Structure 1
Amino acid sequence: MSNWKVSLYRPEIGAAETEAVADVLRSGWLSTGPVTQDFEARYAAALGVDDAVAVANGTAALHLAVLALGLGPGDEVILPSLNFVSAAAVVALSGATPVFAEVGGAHDLSIDPVDAAARITPRTRAVVAMHYGGYAADLGALDRLARAHGLVLIEDAAHAPATTTAQGVLGTVGDIGCYSFFATKNLAMGEGGMVVARDPDVRARIRRLRSHALTVSAQDRHRGGPSTYDVDTFGLNYRPTEIACALGRVQLEALGAKSKRRQEAVRQYREQLADLPGIALPFADRPLEESAHHLFPVVLPEGLDRDVVQERLKGAGIQSGVHYPPTHLFTAYRERYGLGPGSLPVTESVTRRQLSLPLYAGIGDREVALVVEAVRAAWQPTP
């Protein structure tokens, strides 16, 4: 169905993005180059850090973090099952073992630090804090946990670009921060990502691993540098394009204004849906200004069938989504790690009932009103 009255998300691409891409095409330099370097510098400044490494996508960002830390067979990484599968996949592909932890519950869809602590073993090397929907995980508790056990804290900030909270700028509190600029994200480049790291040596390693671990980059060779190079470790091609980074520069400049528009939509949703019987509005106690508001999730009460609600919304022309099916119940993870239903009862209960409502920078009062009307009409017990 493509003729939604209100779609789940809609990237905003305008004349500034079109002109930025045209400038790159006219330049004749399409792969990682000066536009990428400038985007890195601007993004680092937005975060308040020294440097940032632009990459091909958010999965690449997570994979480079794992590679830079040297994670492999015998190592364990604790992370939430409630996340897109890429976070667990890069751990599994390294040969390390993903150890899934619970979320806080229907009102907090981020990793539960108490449950994460209970899953630490002598093999644990890292903990992943995923900032679900653009809301901060409990970084204070997770940072203390990591320091107490000598672990690396990786922030999966795919939903939270340049987001300032009372805990700090998301992605910069832990040891490594990973961002995604996929087409549906708040900062949309089609495909793209960024990595930041507290340790400059780790950051330098990530930058080299992004480009086959070549000792001399293509841009340096083009400028008249050495024509030959060495490769002293195993890297990959996770470079972004100049076209994507040109989009990123424009989107970054507009991010603050777009965030305010998302905040207003979330404020209206919270006010107009809070009285629905049995509804849970995750993170509703958080200040509006301390989230990127990438998603607007709700959790249905027991007895209200999500599939039925989605069909009712679809009939009213309202698109909805599910973020996410729990990773530990996917076939590959059940078969390799012996997981299954009942492994994470809190996560499983929440993910059966989670529903994402439309949210994007261009959503207006009229669209929010249409969504609210449709949700209220759909909020009826399943026959």
Structure 2
Amino acid sequence: MSYKIPLFDLNFDEKEEQAVIDTLKSKWISTGPKTIEFENKFSEMLEVKHSVALSNCTVALHLAMKLLDIKEGDEVICPSLTFVATCNAIRYVNAIPVFADVVSKDDLTIDPVDIERRITKRTKAIIVMHFGGFACDMDNIMEIARKHNLKVIEDACHAPLSEYKGQKLGSIGDLGCYSFFSNKNISTGEGGMLITNNTEYYERAKLLRSHGMTSMSYERSKGHSTTYDVVDNGFNYRIDDIRSAIGIVQLDKIEEDLNKRKEIREMYLLKMESIDRIIVPFSDCENFSSNYIFPIILKNSDYKRRDKIRDKLAEAGIQTSVHYPAVHRFSIYEKYAVSLKNTEYVADNLITLPMHSGLTEKDIEYITKTLKSFC
């Protein structure tokens, strides 16, 4: 279906095309100089010591589990209002996901109070997800982690350059994970990044990324080594230089893109003041956000009414989505299911409206007027 106003739009132009062509002409297309440049540029922008570029964010989350030595039977507290990959990574190491609720309909991030309530002797880590690019309550979460000797992983897929009290999201916990999937703020088609200030984690992540080998093909091609050892049971989680070259261009564009998204969000907020049957989460947020998506929550509603409104918006040419179905309701997580009052209401009544830097004031006017007529 072709939409008058799509949910997102790829921020690509001839610069990404030229980056791919230049990389192809260089004759080095696997992990090499462009990947190193991408990692260094990402570290500089995120104000963090180390970045490891990977094939996607799911593997970044998996490596985070391995680096923190999360094992079978360990418990990891996580949100249910997230993409399933956040929780799947816990199961990859046979650990147990313990689902915690979100704060409220106004704040869709994991609730520190509920986190602490769910800690047991088997709890080893907390995964937070900065929903939509809006920061979790990291002061309280880090204090809980210190109090109970827990590790913290930040799923920052939605949050490149987003901040919490001046700190970049992803750099506050022990490890941060980012996604460069096609609809993310930074897109390479597929791709991810693991960041940390811990040099030991960084060195092992590089080993695990490429089969546990002590040197990679690019290093050997430059004469830095002629052989290698295998010292860990690693994986093939490498990104290639073609996608890294695209990522470098995307990093050059990201600040302008995020500032435009901020303007678009402000337009949305202004025009939605007259719609009294919806809640706009994070409307009072003071931290800088990537504004990855623009979610709204219907008041006094249920999933049937939500779905009818989505259908009507689609008929009007407006593409929407739902971020996200609650993970604890999926069949595969049935045995870990708990009652999460806020999460369940949000999952049934959330509509994700279009958000990308190509939207105009006219687009926002049309979306909000159309939404108001259906609400």
* Structure 1 range deviating more: 13-22 or 213-222: 213-222
Question: Which whole-Å deviations, capped at 9, do the CAs of 1:182-216 have from their partners, x for residues lacking one?
Answer: 10000111111111112110111111101111112
Match among 341, 348, 355 for residue 359 of structure 1: 355
* Structure 1 range deviating more: 182-191 or 228-237: 228-237
Contact kept? 1:274, 1:281, Cα under 8 Å: no
The 3-state SS of whatever aligns with 1:213 is coil
Which amino acid counterpart does residue 206 of structure 1 have in structure 2? A
Contact kept? 2:178, 2:192, Cα under 8 Å: yes
1:212 is matched with which residue?
211
Which amino acid counterpart does residue 311 of structure 1 have in structure 2? D
CA distance in 2: counterparts of 1:191 and 1:121, whole angstroms:
36
CA distance in 1: counterparts of 2:166 and 2:328, whole angstroms:
29
Question: Which whole-Å deviations, capped at 9, do the CAs of 1:270-291 have from their partners, x for residues lacking one?
Answer: 111122123111000013x611
Q: CA deviation at 1:31?
A: 0.8
Q: How do residues 13-162 of structure 1 correspond to structure 2 at under 5 angstroms?
A: 13-162=12-161
Percent of paired sites with the same residue: 39
CA distance in 2: counterparts of 1:175 and 1:188, whole angstroms:
24
The 3-state SS of whatever aligns with 1:108 is coil
CA distance in 1: counterparts of 2:52 and 2:266, whole angstroms:
34
Q: How do residues 290-329 of structure 1 correspond to structure 2 at under 5 angstroms?
A: 290-303=288-301, 305-329=305-329
Which amino acid counterpart does residue 344 of structure 2 have in structure 1? E
CA distance in 2: counterparts of 1:200 and 1:224, whole angstroms:
25
Contact kept? 2:97, 2:336, Cα under 8 Å: no
* Structure 1 range deviating more: 362-371 or 168-177: 362-371
CA distance in 2: counterparts of 1:139 and 1:165, whole angstroms:
8
CA distance in 1: counterparts of 2:122 and 2:18, whole angstroms:
51
Question: Which whole-Å deviations, capped at 9, do the CAs of 1:55-113 have from their partners, x for residues lacking one?
Answer: 11111111111111121112110010000000110101111001000001110000000
CA distance in 2: counterparts of 1:155 and 1:137, whole angstroms:
9
Which amino acid counterpart does residue 339 of structure 2 have in structure 1? S
The 3-state SS of whatever aligns with 1:44 is helix
2:232 is matched with which residue?
233
| Residues 219, 282 of structure 1: alpha-carbon distance in 2 compared, 3 angstrom cutoff | same
CA distance in 1: counterparts of 2:207 and 2:180, whole angstroms:
21
Q: CA deviation at 1:123?
A: 0.6
CA distance in 1: counterparts of 2:164 and 2:336, whole angstroms:
38
Question: Which whole-Å deviations, capped at 9, do the CAs of 1:34-73 have from their partners, x for residues lacking one?
Answer: 0000010011000111221111111111111111112111
CA distance in 1: counterparts of 2:136 and 2:123, whole angstroms:
20
| TM-score, scaled to structure 1 | 0.95
- Gaps in structure 1 of 5+ consecutive residues: none
Q: CA deviation at 1:234?
A: 1.2
CA distance in 2: counterparts of 1:70 and 1:28, whole angstroms:
38
1:181 is matched with which residue?
180
Contact kept? 2:277, 2:299, Cα under 8 Å: yes
The 3-state SS of whatever aligns with 2:49 is coil
Contact kept? 1:20, 1:250, Cα under 8 Å: yes
Contact kept? 2:158, 2:185, Cα under 8 Å: yes
1:172 is matched with which residue?
171
* Structure 1 range deviating more: 349-358 or 165-174: 165-174
The 3-state SS of whatever aligns with 1:290 is coil
CA distance in 2: counterparts of 1:198 and 1:7, whole angstroms:
38
Q: CA deviation at 1:228?
A: 3.4
Q: CA deviation at 1:372?
A: 1.1
Q: CA deviation at 1:368?
A: 1.2
Question: Which whole-Å deviations, capped at 9, do the CAs of 1:274-309 have from their partners, x for residues lacking one?
Answer: 22123111000013x611000100000123611110
Question: What root-mean-square deviation, in Å, do the aligned CA atoms of Structure 1 and Structure 2 show?
Answer: 1.2
Contact kept? 1:83, 1:132, Cα under 8 Å: yes
CA distance in 2: counterparts of 1:361 and 1:105, whole angstroms:
28
* Structure 1 range deviating more: 220-229 or 109-118: 220-229
CA distance in 2: counterparts of 1:79 and 1:302, whole angstroms:
27
